Structure 1
Amino acid sequence: METTKITIGNIIDLPIEKVWELWTNPKHIINWNFASEDWHTPSAENDLIVGGKFSSRMEAKDGSFGFDFCGIYDEVEEFKKIAYTLGDERKVEILFEGNGNSTQITEIFDAENENSIEMQQIGWQTILNNFKSYAEKSFI
């Protein structure tokens, strides 16, 4: 059976070096990695090398639910590409394309079977939009 791929993207109004730092550093990840205001990421770890692991603890602010979003890096090309495999074996590819003082981020990920394609796309796009907002608000 073929896996459905979902693609999202956004342009961040910052140079690629700054975008890369904000995307990969746990001290920044905890500030943008959530899909709604009633969620947060209280902790994150990131060993950004091939075979390295990452983990972000995502929790409802009211304490009602939480989970670890984690995986292992398959490919890391600084300022260009990050690819990883999630704990449930789904694949994710993130492409970074710098253009002067802006950076295009494109994420392509395998859909899971529990939630609708539209819900997954909206959730991941919201997190990417949070990243854009955090990055541009904090560093322009």
Structure 2
Amino acid sequence: MPAQQITVEALVPAPIERAWAAFTTPADITQWNFASDDWCCPSAEVDLRVGGTYKARMEAKDGSFGFDFEGLYEEVEPGRALTLTLGDGRKARTTFAPSGDATRVTTVFDAETLHSIAMQRDGWQAILDNFAAHVGRQAAR
């Protein structure tokens, strides 16, 4: 039976080129890739090509827990879309679409079975919201 899919999206206050760069550049990823202020992303690695790897270290700031979020790029269409196959075989596809002076970023991902759908949606949405806020802060500079 196929996994249930969950969709999250955010309106990013920047053109697609800037949104894409912030989404795929390790130095940017470490600034936004966490769901709450008590977590951080101390490192990220991106080999942005089909068959390339993605790895982001996720850690609780108090040191109590951490894990590597890893995947392989299955699709890379610069400025348009990317698809990751995660370590457990699930897929996550993120698309970038113009929306006036902004960019609509949408991620559709396969749910896992350990956590509730609501918890997964809320966590991924919080990360995407952090991404939009990060790009917004850059645009304001």
TM-score under structure 1 normalisation? 0.98
Q: What runs of 5+ residues in structure 2 fail to find an aligned partner?
A: none
Give the aligned residue type for 1:52: G
- Kept in 2, the 8 Å contact 1:16–1:101? The answer is no
> C-alpha separation between the residues in 2 aligned to 1:21 and 1:84?
17
> What's the CA shift for 1:100?
4.4
Q: 1: CA distance between counterparts of 2:79 and 2:20?
A: 6
Q: How far off is 1:87 after superposition?
A: 0.2
- Within 5 Å, give how 1:55-66 maps onto structure 2: 55-66=55-66
C-alpha separation between the residues in 2 aligned to 1:131 and 1:102? 13
Q: 1: CA distance between counterparts of 2:100 and 2:80?
A: 14
What do the CA deviations read for 1:91-122 (whole angstroms, capped 9, x no partner)? 11001002342100010000000000000000
- Give the aligned partner of residue 26 of structure 2: 26
Tell me how many residue pairs correspond in the alignment: 140
Aligned to 1:47: 47
Equivalent position of 2:35 in the other structure: 35
| Structure 1 segment 104-115 matched on structure 2, within 5 A | 104-115=104-115
Deviations 1:75-95 (A, max 9, x none): 000110000100000011001
Matched position secondary structure for 1:48: coil
Separation in 2 of the partners of 1:20 and 1:9? Answer: 14
Residue identity over aligned pairs, in percent, reads 49
1:71 match: 71
- Runs of 4+ aligned residues of structure 1 deviating over 4 Å after TM superposition are none
Q: CA deviation at 1:138?
A: 2.0
CA contact (8 A) 1:71 1:85 kept: yes
Q: What is residue 16 of structure 1 aligned with on the other side?
A: 16
Q: TM-score, normalised by structure 2?
A: 0.97
Q: Would you say 1:133 and 2:129 are equivalent positions?
A: no
